[in-house]
Amino acid sequence: MRIKLVAAFAGLLAARAFADEQPIALKQAPGLEKVESNCAACHSLDYIQMNSPFLNAAAWDAEVTKMIKAFSAPIPDVDAKAIADYLKANYGG
């Protein structure tokens, strides 16, 4: 019985945490559709806003390259350029 109470309480806490979570809304700009269709296929788009204070233009280029070469993201070269340009223009330092 105690396990059921703990599980129920944990479920209520988790539901509350997810209820407060706001959907990610990236800046509307050219290249956004490429970011949404390619990047969100593997991970949350929250990473873009979370990392934006720390990454400059060169670092965003490196991130896009890393996703393709190290993590084998199936992103065509033309999309990779559009993604990098979008990130640098809207979230780069």
Burial grade of 36 (CB within 10 A; 0-12, 13-18, 19 or more): middle
Burial grade of 8 (CB within 10 A; 0-12, 13-18, 19 or more): exposed
Q: What is the full per-residue pLDDT of the chain (93 aa) written as tens digits?
A: 667 656 666 665 665 555 556 777 899 999 999 999 999 999 999 999 998 899 999 999 999 999 999 999 999 999 999 999 999 999 986
Q: Domain limits of the chain?
A: 25-91
CATH topology of domain 25-91: Cytochrome Bc1 Complex; Chain D, domain 2 (1.10.760)
pLDDT of residue 18: 54
With contact defined as beta carbons under 8 Å apart, do 3 and 10 qualify? no
